[in-house]
Amino acid sequence: MTPHPYELLGVERVLNAADTITSLGGGPLDPRVLASMAAAATAYVDMTDYLARAGAHLAERIGVPDALVTNSAVSGVALAVAAAIAGDTPAAVDAAPAHRTDRTEVVVLCAQRNPYDRAVGIGGGRIVTAGYSDGTTRWQVEAEIGPRTAALLWYAGTQFEHYALGLADMVAIAEASGLPVIVDAAAQVPPVTNLRRYVDDGAAAVAFSGGKGLRGPQDTALLVGGDLVGVARAHAFPHYGIGRGMKVSKEGVAGLVTAVGLALDADDDADYAALLARCLAWGDALAGLPGVRTSTVPDGVLGQHTPRLRVDLDPGLGDGLQLAARLRAGRPAVVVRTEETVPGAVFLNPFPLPPEDDELVVDALRTALAGLAG
């Protein structure tokens, strides 16, 4: 028997009861996803043909004109940006990201700036911000559009949508100038219906992580949309464009195709009910502990359709940060979410955690709370 790779390397597993956090690795994969990856691993394949067929299959299943498998949502946005700037002639693909044009500006709302927007630069674009951090008007966006504008980039998710213009306004502004709107919706599943929603709402290309709510291999992602996705394909692996380093494996493609199929076939309402039942069971397991109150929150921190358990502490016991630190330092380590605006609480999310680990999380919570009580 080969040793477990974590044991071989002396690293410890982490129980993720927080969110689909990329820096904790992807979530545990469904056995059917793993089986499809193992099957794909047994033979060589023509990657260009395989990727084209995977894209066509996914587009049809999702109900969008086109889909491209890439290795990350960041890559998806970068490829869409390169496509919007360069088009798909061989010379333009070859030149990217040092584009042979001045039309490289991508409008990003000031209220939405975030660490993932460096995808614009990877695609050879230059960010031009519009609006303020605490508010955005249509004329502020319109004022940034000119002959150098290649695209508008919009972020889906609750924390990005405060103070930002909505997608409908962005699409209307873009359409008036014949420009595409690229959407980063990396974490916006569930619900799985979001896979087509932003395209239906007029986005030209929309990026989703494969390893977040889709529960696919972590080093996969989807870019869905219309013609712009086809142009992005010319820049993507296995072609010699900016996407050559954004390699996807034949195993990853298989895993993502299977994971998306499972997500589309799942019963969202039943899944939500099962997650909520786990939240309530966690709450019940903590009931009666002095200084601890629990309640449920209807959605995820980015607005995902996933319930969470909120655990409030009496100030005499400690605050959310202290509890989270104790859980993180425990064995096994448990990661929960804290929110700056709610310092007296931690938030637990059953979505990324396999149900068989629920008991471990409850035990860890009891131990950490007992530690705080001294």
Ligand X SMILES: *Cc1c(COP(=O)(O)O)cnc(C)c1O
Q: Closest approach of Cβ 81 to ligand X, in Å?
A: 13
φ, ψ at 87 (rounded to 5°): 70, -165
Find the part of the chain contacting ligand X (CB under 6 A) among 39-47, 70-78, 251-259, 304-312: 70-78
Residue 115's CB is within 10 A of a number of other CB atoms, namely 7
Q: Closest approach of Cβ 155 to ligand X, in Å?
A: 6
Q: Closest approach of Cβ 60 to ligand X, in Å?
A: 23
Asked if 155 is part of the footprint of ligand X (rule: CB under 6 A), the reply reads yes
Estimate to the nearest angstrom the gap between the alpha carbon of 257 and the chain centroid.
Answer: 17
**Strand (E) or helix (H) holding 58:** helix 47-62
For ligand X, the binding residues in 346-365 under the rule CB under 6 A are none
For ligand X, the binding residues in 161-190 under the rule CB under 6 A are 184, 186-187
For ligand X, the binding residues in 95-124 under the rule CB under 6 A are 116
Structure tokens at 172: 């209307």
Q: Closest approach of Cβ 211 to ligand X, in Å?
A: 7
Is the separation of the CB atoms in 156 and 184 below 8 Å?
Answer: yes
Estimate to the nearest angstrom the gap between the alpha carbon of 239 and the chain centroid.
Answer: 25
Find the part of the chain contacting ligand X (CB under 6 A) among 46-54, 66-74, 165-173, 288-296: 66-74
φ, ψ at 327 (rounded to 5°): -65, -40
Name the CA radius of gyration of the chain, rounded.
22
Q: Which residue among 16, 36, 72, 104 contacts ligand X (CB under 6 A)? A: 72
Q: Closest approach of Cβ 257 to ligand X, in Å?
A: 17
CB nearer to ligand X: pick between 116 and 198: 116
**x-or-dash string of contact with ligand X, 226-265, rule CB under 6 A:** ----------------------------------------
Is the separation of the CB atoms in 41 and 251 below 8 Å?
Answer: yes
What burial class does residue 299 get, using C-beta atoms within 10 Å of its C-beta: 0-12 exposed, 13-18 middle, 19+ buried?
Answer: middle
* Strand, helix or coil for residue 335: strand
Q: Which residues bind ligand X (CB under 6 A)?
A: 22, 72-74, 116, 155, 157, 184, 186-187, 209, 221
